């Protein structure tokens, strides 16, 4: 399987940071497996996570939408997000990071 992230790089723009691309690529990779997806959600909604409230109150539905999306359709996804006042770049930056100090406790 050959996977290219060139569309994502183009969509994220000339000022895209490598960690933005990594959040999208690795987030999607991890999201594919149900157990890992559940673990990420437990971690991101843990009271100790600094992004917890922001994620739950505003970003969870759209972050899930982006992580579930087909990378081959990123241009279309970006257009849909823009019609809602967002963009793929904005949403990617709202994917919560994994905090290593307590991620291990998120295991099933």
pLDDT tens sequence across 24-41:
999 999 999 999 999 999
Instruction: Give the pTM.
Output: 0.84
> What is the domain partition of the chain in residue ranges?
6-106
pLDDT tens sequence across 80-108:
999 999 999 999 999 999 887 777 776 65
Instruction: Give the CA-trace dihedral at 53, 58, 59, 60, to 10 degrees.
Output: 70
Q: What are the backbone angles phi and psi of residue 13, rounded to the nearest 5°?
A: 90, 175
C-alpha 46/C-alpha 24 separation (Å) is 21
């Amino acid at each position: 399987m050959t996977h290219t992230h060139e569309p994502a790089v183009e969509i994220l723009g000339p000022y895209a940071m490598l960690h933005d691309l990594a959040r999208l690529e690795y987030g999607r990779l991890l999201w594919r497996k149900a157990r890992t997806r559940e673990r990420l959600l437990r971690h991101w909604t843990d009271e100790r996570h600094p992004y917890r409230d922001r994620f739950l109150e505003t970003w969870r539905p759209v972050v899930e939408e982006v992580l579930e999306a087909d990378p081959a359709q990123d241009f279309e996804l970006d257009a849909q997000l823009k019609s809602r006042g967002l963009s793929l770049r904005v949403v990617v930056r709202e994917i919560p990071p994994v905090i290593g100090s307590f991620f291990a406790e998120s295991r099933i």
